[in-house]
Chains A and B, each alone.
Chain A
């Protein structure tokens, strides 16, 4: 049975070169970087090196703009809570309907505390309307937080342009870039982005390490106070081994940037074109002309995603779904709902997300098995008859709500 991992937007395998550079920091140079003895020798130096590796990947102007955190979620929370704490008179936040829960749940919570949250809608291709965004910007807005790329569809948002607009209106701009960093080139020093979140495990570093990029001069209030670590902006003893690992992972991501955007993209394109050709009644979601090179999200109509995943898994293929059942919630993914994908398709969305470890033969394996899986499940579906959907599917089968 093949062993094919196509769920790289969920998490990635730690690169073996990353593991190699980490090991000494567990067993030999395990000292606290603040200590003055031989076990701490070179640890502070290694952190500095890692900071520069991250800086290089995102094109930050200074290495001191890199703050190591524990994960992408911590970086997101730090950014937003810092902005509202530093500007107590501003009671509005602008974000989008399709953000990651790390932003949406936090905003929902702030709404209860009296903040006004503007959630930008998206069109059927998952795109934002910049005109309505412009109209929302005011001196009441504490921060704009818009993801660089969507985790489900891979759709890229015009964050550089949006940050310019925010800056012109005197509003801080944060972007959750956990899916974008390492997959598309960026040069933050040429932008007006004030804060940016990175998650290590999305780019072949370990879980439990993240970064908040903080543009020099941006007003900041730490989430965690305590020691002097990270120049007092994020207290807590440094996760030295993981920081060193993340640095290496960033260096590799920069090295593979071209590969990601040519070879990885070719695999993705081959897969989605093949699936759409071989399987009737399926379509690619998101903004097809403006997506991450590694991500495709395909809606297979009239069947349900968890069932598809179970069959894929049995065939040795790992992917993920926006269906309600995979999360235990009652609604399909908020991203699909925001794009007004009908329920008969939204529950059947499957995301395939690639990395540099995949090969074209992985793609061929999926292309071989997928038509059969879809056909098997459609045979069970009340919306399907013979070779096609029943006429007027939404009307033909209208079960009682249960």
Chain B
């Protein structure tokens, strides 16, 4: 059985705000009955202050789906809807002391229900284009749909390519057979054949600088590398933000789904590896939370994406 935290168990066995709110004026319904997870979130929002006065959930789903729903209602009660929209799925996961990788989608479902409910309150249509497939890489929680999309989009040919673009297969390597099967299928549809011996796509060139870099040059290079990694992270619903560079230490914020995800530490290690390859020097990547003197933050926010 899953290794659920005590918080998950507590919210499951003693759910808060179960049931529909009477007189709700914001309703969000998300999930998929075929996958066995579906959630209806009902909110009572004050029309003038836009404060969420009451929240209730009805969930068809497993222990972590019910716990995620329960904790979500606790988090957002009393918030304005603008503040509530800033609640991320990792806030939900964090509040539950983490979720197993296979169960992170339960927290995503919670956030999506919230977005849908607020869209409903504002009278706009909420659209979700997020699709989920069978979990392939258990180390980095990468599913089949994601791998397939990346193989199509980037014309990937080898397992190594897939690992470079999605992280999938970069851990214990047990899923390489499944990744090969996806490559075989997509390459066939593209009119090619899968060749396990094929050369991988050229990696980001490892240019070893002759002269020691200035800090500005180093920051720029680090930004370049982070930008190149960003699509994979964002595909997972996550992102990384460079906060500060001191000497050879880069302080980053893992945001989006990366934050609170149990894989964040491995992702950071992966980023560090890539930085060292490209910069040709030792770089240490440290979460910004461990940075000394936080008042001196140089915040380079929103540099790359909307």
- Residues of A bordering B, CB below 8 Å: 302-307, 309-311, 313-314, 323-326, 328-332, 343-344, 347, 379-383, 394, 397-402
Contact = CB atoms under 8 A, between A and B. Distances in A.
Size range of the chain B interface in the assembly:
35 or more
B36 A323 contact: yes
Given A328-B135, A400-B29, A381 B39 contact: no
Interface stretch (B55-63, B168-176, B205-213, B269-277): B55-63
B149 interface: no
Interface of B: 1, 9, 12-13, 15, 18-19, 29-40, 57-63, 65-66, 102, 105, 108-109, 112, 116, 126, 128, 130-135
Contact of B31 (A306, A379, A402): A402
B118 to A, nearest CB: 14
B62 A325 contact: yes
Contacts of B62: 304-307, 323, 325-326
User: Which are the 7 A-B pairs with shortest beta-carbon distances?
Assistant: A325-B62, A306-B62, A382-B58, A347-B36, A399-B29, A382-B40, A399-B31
B60 A381 contact: yes
A389 to B, nearest CB: 11
Contacts of A328: 102, 135
A347 B32 CA distance: 12
Contacts of A400: 29-31, 112, 116, 126, 128
A132 to B, nearest CB: 27
Given A304-B61, A307-B62, A379-B18, A399 B13 contact: no
Nearest to A401: B32
Question: For A329, A330, A402, which residue has the most chain B Cβ atoms within 10 angstroms?
Answer: A402
- Which among A325, A347, A379 has the highest number of chain B CB atoms within 10 Å? A325
A394 B132 CA distance: 21
Nearest to A402: B30
Contact of B40 (A306, A307, A325, A397): A397
A402 B18 contact: no
A380 B42 CA distance: 13
Contact of A330 (B35, B63, B108): B35
B36 A304 contact: yes
Chain A, interface SS category: loop
B66 A379 contact: no
A402 B105 CA distance: 9
Nearest to A321: B62
Given A380-B58, A402-B112, A307 B66 contact: yes
Nearest to B61: A304
A314 B1 CA distance: 13
Contacts of B66: 307, 380
29 contacts: A305-B62, A307-B12, A313-B1, A324-B35, A325-B36, A325-B37, A325-B65, A326-B1, A328-B135, A329-B135, A330-B35, A331-B35, A343-B34, A347-B33, A380-B15, A380-B18, A380-B59, A381-B58, A381-B59, A382-B58, A383-B60, A398-B29, A399-B40, A400-B126, A400-B128, A401-B128, A401-B131, A402-B30, A402-B109
Contacts of A305: 62
Given A328-B102, A379-B18, A397-B38, A304 B32 contact: no
B179 to A, nearest CB: 15
B13 A314 contact: yes
B33 A330 contact: no
Given A330-B133, A380-B59, A402 B36 contact: no
Contact of A304 (B60, B105, B128): B60
A382 B59 contact: yes
Contacts of A379: 18-19
Contact of A402 (B40, B58, B63, B108): B108
A292 B34 CA distance: 29
Given A330-B132, A402-B30, A382 B63 contact: no
- With a 10 A CB-CB cut-off, give which of A306, A311, A382, A397 has the most chain B CB atoms: A382
Tell me which of A313, A326, A329, A347 has the highest count of chain B C-beta atoms within 10 A of its own C-beta: A347
Contacts of B29: 382, 397-400
A332 B35 CA distance: 7
Contacts of A313: 1
